[in-house]
Chain A
């Protein structure tokens, strides 16, 4: 039950993020929901790497440490890419705000026409 409860909390966070990302009009709220989704995923990755035994380890490879911390590496890359994504996303939001005076995702439809 110790692994499952972390994974269930990760799944709940991911679903809340899906709800926010799909139902919000403000672009900043969509970005914040994306951050919640990223956090759910990294929680699941760290919990899996803490409690489960990698296949390579149970089939008898010597260097255990090489496979045990894959979830940690995943989380480091997720955090880095989330930082890059937020910097770019907020720059795009500021640029949209300068030209149109609002940041609603339902209003930015120039590329559709």
Chain B
């Protein structure tokens, strides 16, 4: 049972979910394993696209658009530019000597995280006692998330919103100051 009109039971949604999940994880592994840095950045774009697809499956269409515009559109282009500008150092995508311990650490972390996720009793809608009014209200929120996201962003979190705009300005000025020719 879900908040909002779910398409979760349809078999086609299951197939789409597993295809997207497989593509996302395989390309994320390829980012850290491929020898060529440029190809790794192309696999990173596939990972971003997979996450955008996941957002659509989670009925966060606005966030999927944000993901496409900022990650796929801007951040990956910045990374590709940086790779091309530092192209003449031709030693690929090397790892240093701590590779095996780091792999063990991240595998242990993944095991702990998956164990915790599967053991926790999440407060899902089926296990909570909500009034029918609240349930219909929640369903209405997930019918169209954009008005409520805007209301939260510009009313409840407006201070953080303004602080982030100052942060963006500061980072743009900092980037300009760092790459300026002296």
Q: Decide whether A and B are members of one complex.
A: yes
Chain A residues packing against B (C-beta within 8 Å): 2-9, 11-20, 22-26, 28-29, 31-33, 35-36, 39, 42-43, 46-47, 50-53, 55, 57-58, 60, 64-66, 68-70, 72-73, 75-77, 79-88, 90-95, 97, 101-104, 106
Q: Can you name 10 A-B residue pairings with CB atoms under 8 Å?
A: A2-B8, A8-B113, A14-B113, A18-B109, A39-B71, A60-B131, A73-B152, A80-B70, A91-B178, A93-B82
Give every chain A residue within 8 A of B16 (Cβ-Cβ): none
* Selected contact of B117 from candidates A8, A24, A50, A87, CB within 8 Å: A8
* Cα–Cα distance between A21 and B21 once the two chains are bound (Å): 22
* Contact B103–A53 (Cβ < 8 Å): no
Give every chain B residue within 8 A of A68 (Cβ-Cβ): 3, 138, 141-142, 148
* Contact B145–A94 (Cβ < 8 Å): no
* Selected contact of B32 from candidates A29, A90, A95, A106, CB within 8 Å: A29
Within 8 A of A (CB), among B51-110: 51, 54-55, 58-60, 62-63, 66-67, 70-71, 74-75, 78-79, 81-83, 85-86, 89, 93-96, 98-99, 102-103, 105-107, 109-110
Given contact pairs A12-B110, A50-B59, A31 touches B124 in the complex (Cβ within 8 A): no
Interface of B: prevailing SS: helix
* Interface bin, chain B: 35 or more
Q: A28-B41, A87-B78, A94-B86 are in contact. List 10 more A-B contacts (CB 8 A).
A: A15-B109, A16-B28, A19-B102, A29-B37, A35-B75, A69-B145, A69-B149, A75-B60, A76-B63, A101-B89
* Cα–Cα distance between A9 and B24 once the two chains are bound (Å): 9
Give every chain A residue within 8 A of B15 (Cβ-Cβ): none
Give every chain A residue within 8 A of B48 (Cβ-Cβ): 35, 39
Given contact pairs A15-B106, A94-B178, A97-B85, A66 touches B125 in the complex (Cβ within 8 A): no
Give every chain B residue within 8 A of A84 (Cβ-Cβ): 167-168, 171
* Contact B86–A22 (Cβ < 8 Å): no
* Selected contact of A52 from candidates B17, B93, B123, B171, CB within 8 Å: B123
- Assess whether B25 is interfacial by the CB under 8 Å rule: yes
A56 to chain B, nearest CB (A): 11
Give every chain B residue within 8 A of A13 (Cβ-Cβ): 24-25, 28, 47
* Contact B142–A50 (Cβ < 8 Å): yes
